[in-house]
Amino acid sequence: MACRISELVIDCADPDLLAAFWSQVLGYVELGREDDGSIEIGPPGTGFGGPQPTLVLSPSSDPRTGKLPLHIDVNATDRDQDAELARLLALGAKRADVGQTGTENWHVLADPEGNVFCLLHTRLQPV
């Protein structure tokens, strides 16, 4: 028996802002809200426990931003990397510098609260 990742929790100052951003990035929908202000988003029609993990955006008065020990990598599913980069930047992502050399085949970006994530080169099949 093994475990699998069911959800990722991101502490943030503005759960609504990040839920909207990550929903657009991943094609997710809002699954629910908790009394503490947390918002869970996930794949439409599947939700928690499906083949992809959900994201829980949890309010925090002291969220960490920048390059964290854990970050999210994303891959385009229906366009090439350049087109996906343009889409993510239009959604509010910003380019981030974490010491890359410039020869990488991925792009380092930050979400609207400064959390670093990477757009990888390989196009994946949709789930």
Which pLDDT tens digit goes with each residue over 65-77? 777 778 899 999 9
Mean pLDDT of 105-120: 94
CATH class of the region 1-62: alpha beta
CA distance 61 to 14: 10
> Which residue has better confidence, 66 or 3?
3
Q: Cβ(38)–Cβ(15) under 8 Å?
A: yes
Domain boundaries, the chain: 1-62, 64-127
Mean pLDDT of 100-121: 94
> Which residue has better confidence, 95 or 5?
95
CA distance 69 to 91: 24
CA distance 17 to 113: 9
Nearest CA among 70, 65, 8 for reference residue 41: 8
Mean pLDDT of 21-31: 97
For the stretch 19-28, what's the b/e string if a residue is b when 16 or more beta carbons lie within 10 angstroms of its beta carbon?
Answer: bbbbbebbeb
Phi first, then psi: give them for residue 9, nearest 5 degrees.
-110, 130
Largest CA distance in the chain: 45
Q: Cβ(118)–Cβ(108) under 8 Å?
A: yes
Return the structure tokens found at 114.
């400064």
Q: What is the pTM of this model?
A: 0.89
pLDDT over 90, % of the chain = 77
Q: Does the structure show a pLDDT above 80 at 49?
A: yes
| Domain 64-127 bears CATH identifier 3.20.20.60 | no
